Amino acid sequence: MKGLFLLLLQLYFLSFGLGQNILLFPKESVTDYVILRPTVKQALKQLTVCLRSYTSLQREHSLFSIATPRLHNAFLIYPIPPNNISISINHEDLYFNVDPDVLDWKQTCVAWDSKTGLLQLWVNAKRYPRRVTTSRSPIGPQMSLILGQEQDSFGGKFEASQSFVGEMSDVNMWDYVLSTNTISNNYLYELGNIFSWTNGTKEIRGGVMALKN
Ligand SMILES: *[C@@H]1O[C@H](CO)[C@@H](O)[C@H](O)[C@H]1NC(C)=O
Ligand SMILES: *[C@@H]1O[C@H](CO)[C@@H](O)[C@H](O)[C@H]1NC(C)=O
Ligand SMILES: [Ca+2]
Average pLDDT of 127-145? 97
Q: What is the pTM of this model?
A: 0.88
**CATH number of the 2-211 domain:** 2.60.120.200
Instruction: Break the chain into its structural domains and give their ranges.
Output: 2-211
- Ligand 1 touching residue 97 (CB < 6 A): yes
The predicted structure's pLDDT at residue 24: 98
- Ligand 1 touching residue 80 (CB < 6 A): yes
Higher pLDDT: 28 or 183? It is 28
Termini Cα distance of the chain: 26
Question: How large is the C-alpha radius of gyration of the chain?
Answer: 17
- Ligand 2 touching residue 196 (CB < 6 A): yes
- Is residue 131 a contact partner of residue 61, using CB atoms and an 8 Å limit? no
Coil, helix or strand for 167? Answer: strand
The predicted structure's pLDDT at residue 90: 97
Ligand 3 centre and the CA of 189: distance in Å? Answer: 33
Ligand 1 atom nearest to CA at 96: 13
Interval 152-164: pLDDT, tens: 999 999 999 999 9
* DSSP category for residue 161: G
> pLDDT above 70 covers what percent of the chain?
89
- Is residue 51 a contact partner of residue 108, using CB atoms and an 8 Å limit? yes
Tell me: pLDDT of 15 over 70. Answer: no
Q: What is the mean pLDDT of the chain?
A: 91
The predicted structure's pLDDT at residue 209: 96
Residue of 13, 39, 199 to test ligand 2 pocket, by largest number of atoms within 8 Å of CB: 199
How far from the centroid of its chain's Cα atoms is residue 186's Cα? 17
Interval 66-77: pLDDT, tens: 999 999 999 999
